[in-house]
């Protein structure tokens, strides 16, 4: 979403402030990321901490899932509402939808496309783990 908004900066007229536009997009992106971290990241942290599973690699895996899953679910939800039998969708000779049913190729393509958000989730989760692990007075695993 943010990338699409940023690509339209060149279309702004000379009377509009491009810096103000970019700052407003950055604020929106920050608020979305903050809500994402609070709604999905904090519960995951509490569960992992309660189960004594706070390891850097588990944080990275959970961050990838948390980053990728919401957009994949939303994309699936909107696609399923549009797909009706006997609809077929073919991309480069590969069926993405066959007779109104989403194929494995559709899931693979969707998850691959949304993996960039998973990478952002991995970075955020690893950063959170570093803060948790090395913040003074942080609980240690025993």
Structure tokens at 132: 């948790």
Q: Which domain holds residue 99?
A: 2-134
pLDDT band at 14 (very low <50, low <70, confident <90, very high): low
Asked whether residue 112 is domain-assigned, the answer is yes
pLDDT band at 138 (very low <50, low <70, confident <90, very high): low
Q: How many domains does the chain have?
A: 1
**Nearest 10 degrees: Cα torsion 22, 39, 59, 116:** -40
d(CA 140, CA 117): 30
- To the nearest whole percent, how much of the chain has pLDDT over 70? 85
> Does the pLDDT of residue 5 top 60, yes or no?
no
> Does the pLDDT of residue 15 top 70, yes or no?
no
Asked whether residue 38 is domain-assigned, the answer is yes
The one-character DSSP state at 55 is -
Asked whether residue 34 is domain-assigned, the answer is yes
Q: Confirm whether pTM is higher than 0.95.
A: no
Asked whether residue 141 is domain-assigned, the answer is no
């Amino acid at each position: 979403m943010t990338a699409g908004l940023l690509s339209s900066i060149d279309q702004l007229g000379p009377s509009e402030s491009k810096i103000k536009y970019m700052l407003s997009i950055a604020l929106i992106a920050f608020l979305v990321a903050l809500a994402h971290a609070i709604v999905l990241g904090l519960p995951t942290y509490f569960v992992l901490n309660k189960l004594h599973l706070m390891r850097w690699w588990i944080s990275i895996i959970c961050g990838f899932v948390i980053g990728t899953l919401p957009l994949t679910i939303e994309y699936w939800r909107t696609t399923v509402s549009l797909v009706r039998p006997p609809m077929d969708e073919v991309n480069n000779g590969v069926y993405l939808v066959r007779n109104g049913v989403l194929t494995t190729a559709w899931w693979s393509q969707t998850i691959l496309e949304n993996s960039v958000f998973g990478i952002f989730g991995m970075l955020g989760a690893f950063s959170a783990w570093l803060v948790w692990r090395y913040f003074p007075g942080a609980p240690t695993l025993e």
